[in-house]
Amino acid sequence: MDKQNWEPKIVAFVCNWCTYTGADLAGTSRLKYPANCKLIRVMCSGSIDPVFILKAFERGADGVLVSGCHPNDCHYNAGNFHARRRWDFFHKLLDFIGIEKGRLQFSWISASEGKKFADVITKVTEDIKAMGQFTSYKKMNSEFTVDFPADLAELEEPVLQESFDKETVK
């Protein structure tokens, strides 16, 4: 893909009670922000395991955002405090082994901060755009890959997608 048209893939792990609700507010307030972020709703920022983040990178994310309630606002009282210690460490570790700080970002966004949500998403998207594709991680994926022959590529839609659709319609 040429550089101009490349759009970063960003995964955002957001907590149900604050950031996700904040995203809702951004939507209902008709605020504009880039569409690069795929939101994954979890119950608490304290329940986001670092393996989620590695998995996101493995599956081709160029950046990850982790966001939860402001300190002292946690729905479960202390989940975000525990998370904060964990991320302080984890991001130092990633930095040491060569994953730049900007690839993994953090924020506190409350349910009333629709504007902040839009701003954070815009900023993260721009940062990651500036950094470019996360090629060093993606290179590891290509160790054993195969180009599927063209006749295989035209299979019907996947089973899982279908059941997934049904669920959301329900």
Partner 1 sequence: MNELIKHAKELLEKGEVAAVIGYRQVSEKRTKPVIITEPEETRALVFNEYCLNNLAVYLTKARIKLLGRKNNKSFKLAITAKPCDVHSIVALIQENQIDRDKIHIISFNCHGVVKDFGFDFNGDNLSSKCITCETHKPLYYDKLLGEVKETPQARDSALERIKEIERMPHNERFEFFRSEFDKCIKCYACRAVCPLCYCQRCITDKTIPCWIETSSHQRGNFAWNVIRAFHLSGRCTGCGECDRVCPADIPLSLINRKMTIEANNLFSFVSGRSLETPTLVGSFNEKDNDELFM
Partner 2 sequence: MDEKIISRVDLMKICKDVIDKGNTLLTPGAADYYVVKDISDIILDTSALPSKISHKSYVFPRTEPVLYYKRSKNDVQLIDINIDSKKIVILGAKPCDANSINIMKHLFNWDHSDEFFNKRANNFMVIGLMCSHFDEYCFCTSVRSSPVSEKGSDLFLIPVDINNYALKIITEKGKEFISPYSGYLKPGDEKNSKLITENVRQPEAAFDSSEVYEWLGENFESPKWEGVGNLCLSCAQCAFVCSVCHCFDITDEDYSYTEGRRMKNWDGCQFGNFTLHASGHNPRDIQSKRYRQRVNHKFRYYVDRFGEILCTGCGRCSRGCPVSIDIKEIVSNCNDNQKEFLK
Residue 88: which of partner 1, partner 2, none does it interact with, CB under 5 to 8 A by kind? partner 1
Calculate the alpha carbon distances from 91 to 97, 99, 103, 160 in Å. Answer: 10, 9, 10, 34
| Strand locations in the chain (E) | 10-15, 37-42, 63-68, 104-108
What part of residues 116-145 is at the interface with partner 2 (CB under 8 A)? Answer: 144-145
What part of residues 141-170 is at the interface with partner 2 (CB under 8 A)? Answer: 144-146, 148-149, 152, 155-162
State the nearest-atom distance from the C-beta of 164 to partner 2, in Å. 9
136, 162, 164, 165: residue in contact with partner 1 (rule CB under 8 A): 136
State the nearest-atom distance from the C-beta of 163 to partner 1, in Å. 17
State the nearest-atom distance from the C-beta of 4 to partner 1, in Å. 23
Nearest of 145, 157, 134 to residue 64 by alpha carbon: 134
3, 30, 32, 85: residue in contact with partner 1 (rule CB under 8 A): 85
- The DSSP result for 115-153, as a single string, is HHHHHHHHHHHHHHHHH---HHHHHHHTTT-----HHHH
Is there binding between residue 90 and partner 1 (CB under 8 A)?
yes
- The residue with tokens 């970063």 is 8
6, 27, 38, 141: residue in contact with partner 1 (rule CB under 8 A): 141
Calculate the alpha carbon distances from 129 to 10, 29, 56, 170 in Å. Answer: 10, 26, 17, 36
Q: Which residues bind partner 2 (CB under 8 A)?
A: 144-146, 148-149, 152, 155-162
